[in-house]
């Protein structure tokens, strides 16, 4: 079925493996050049930044969008587009997470709205693009299936392209199907990112922040949570859980007195008899994703817990 939105120039899809959403077109620094090229190199960008340089992203980057992710274009200016990202809900803007991306990173949506879909479930997957080139896809990338082979899937890419990915790197599904999963699957998926360095605004395999980790992992199971920790804590599909009743896979939320939650992570065990709580999370400040007991500071700022409800019917998320 043709997608009528392909004729609407205000609706685009990300055509590169990942694009960074910036606070403004003036936000990127010289060191950020690999991320804003017409064909960005996210690995080069991430590898070039030490801890202090990464801290400098605060107030500059907002989030990241993956290949095939839809956006609403609100404004265009000198090679940049101001967008709203509907898969990343935000209290900042009803249409979706706002910010600026390079216009070259956006393309025409695929002309498909039904059928089989595929989600990248490996930390990275090689995609062979028609024309003889190849690129690396991030975990969580969701695309429509064009054709299935014995060992690979041909996937629809924006701008009328096709890409071939090994089936071993994908989870196949359907728009009307919800993946079967449990807490162990969620935590096992999150554990793929242990040792990955924190990246402010990161929602990809090249770097994650705390809420980006939670959002991306659950998105891979077809569940959409808002982008930021404070919005996740009050989301309609997150049920409050008493702190003494936490189970593995639940979410811990942290806040300073009188403020909204600023940090989130996955509980990885019930509360132990000695009061110890363990959490898999992306610590702020440029540290590595870890699964560890909560420090005294974390315990002092722990304010609530939540359990993510599965969709009752069908998938909340599938390619457009």
pLDDT at 178: 74
Instruction: Band the pLDDT of 131: cuts 50, 70, 90.
Output: confident
Q: What is the mean pLDDT of residues 148-152?
A: 97
CATH code of domain 4-107: 2.30.30.40
Residues 29, 256: Cα–Cα separation, whole Å: 31
Specify the CATH architecture of the domain 183-308: Alpha-Beta Complex (3.90)
What is the chain's length? 320
pLDDT of residue 179: 79
Geometric angle at alpha carbon 209, from 186 and 313, rounded to 5°: 35
pLDDT at position 312 is 65
Reply yes or no on whether the pLDDT at 177 is more than 80. Answer: no
Calpha distance 216→208 (Å, rounded): 9
pLDDT by residue (tens digit) across 196-217? 999 999 999 999 999 999 999 9
Mean pLDDT computed over 155-177:
93
Q: 101 and 153 in contact (C-beta within 8 Å)? A: no
Contact present, 165 and 159 (Cβ < 8 Å): no
Confidence band of 1 (pLDDT split at 50, 70, 90): very low
User: What tokens does 109 get?
Assistant: 């949506």
Q: Is the pLDDT of residue 4 over 50?
A: no
Mean pLDDT of 251-257: 97
| C-alpha to C-alpha distances, 29 to 47, 49, 56, 191, 286, nearest whole angstrom | 15, 11, 9, 32, 18
Average pLDDT (112-130) is 94
pLDDT for residue 138: 98
pLDDT for 40-91, tens place per residue?
999 999 999 998 999 999 999 999 999 999 999 999 999 999 999 999 999 9
pLDDT at 114: 87
Main-chain dihedrals φ then ψ at residue 225, nearest 5 degrees: -110, 155
Q: What integer pLDDT is reported at residue 9 of this predicted model? A: 80
Task: Quote the pLDDT of residue 96.
Answer: 96
Region 273-281: what's the mean pLDDT?
Answer: 97
With a cut of 50, say whether residue 7 has pLDDT above it.
no
| C-alpha radius of gyration, the chain, whole number | 19
pLDDT at 320: 59
For residues 73 and 35, the answer to whether their CB atoms sit within 8 Å is: no
Provide the pLDDT for residue 316.
54
Determine the average pLDDT of the residues in 265-285.
95
Domain boundaries along the sequence of the chain: 4-107, 116-174, 183-308
pLDDT surpasses 50 at 99: yes
The answer to whether the 4-107 and 183-308 domains have the same CATH topology is: no
CATH architecture of 116-174: Roll (2.30)
Q: What percentage of the chain reaches a pLDDT higher than 70?
A: 94
For the chain, where are the alpha helices, taking DSSP H only?
33-36, 42-48, 51-55, 183-190, 210-219, 229-233, 296-301
Give the Cα separation of 80 and 201 in Å (integer).
18
> Would you state the pLDDT for residue 211?
98
10 Å CB burial of residue 38 (0-12, 13-18, 19+) is: exposed
- What average pLDDT does range 232-260 have in this prediction? 97
């Amino acid at each position: 079925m043709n997608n009528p939105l392909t004729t609407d120039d205000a609706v685009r899809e990300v055509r590169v493996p990942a694009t960074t959403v910036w606070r403004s077109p003036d936000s990127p620094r010289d060191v950020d050049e690999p991320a804003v090229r017409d064909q960005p190199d996210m690995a080069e960008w991430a590898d070039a930044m030490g801890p202090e340089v990464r801290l400098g992203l605060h107030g500059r980057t907002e989030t990241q969008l993956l290949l095939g992710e839809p956006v609403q274009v609100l404004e265009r200016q000198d090679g940049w587009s101001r967008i709203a990202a509907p898969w990343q809900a935000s209290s900042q803007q009803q249409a979706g997470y706002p910010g600026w991306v390079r216009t070259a990173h956006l393309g025409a949506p695929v002309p498909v709205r039904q059928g089989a879909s595929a989600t990248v479930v490996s930390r990275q997957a090689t995609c062979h693009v028609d024309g003889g080139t190849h690129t690396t896809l991030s975990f969580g990338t969701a695309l429509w299936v064009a054709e299935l082979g014995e060992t690979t899937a041909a996937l629809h890419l924006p701008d009328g392209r096709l890409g071939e990915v090994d089936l071993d790197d994908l989870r196949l599904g359907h728009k009307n199907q919800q993946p079967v999963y449990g807490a162990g699957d969620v935590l096992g998926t999150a554990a793929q990112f242990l040792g990955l360095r924190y990246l402010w605004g990161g929602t990809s395999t090249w770097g994650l922040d705390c809420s980006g980790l939670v959002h991306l992992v659950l998105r891979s199971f077809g569940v959409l949570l808002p982008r930021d920790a404070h919005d996740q804590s009050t989301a309609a599909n997150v049920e409050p859980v008493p702190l003494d009743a936490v189970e593995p896979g639940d979410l811990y939320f942290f806040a300073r007195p009188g403020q909204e939650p600023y940090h989130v992570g996955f509980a990885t065990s019930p509360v132990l008899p000695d009061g110890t709580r363990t959490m898999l999370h992306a610590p702020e400040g440029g540290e590595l994703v870890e699964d560890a007991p909560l420090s005294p500071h974390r315990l002092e700022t722990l304010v609530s817990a939540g359990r993510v409800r599965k969709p009752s019917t069908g998938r909340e998320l599938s390619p457009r």
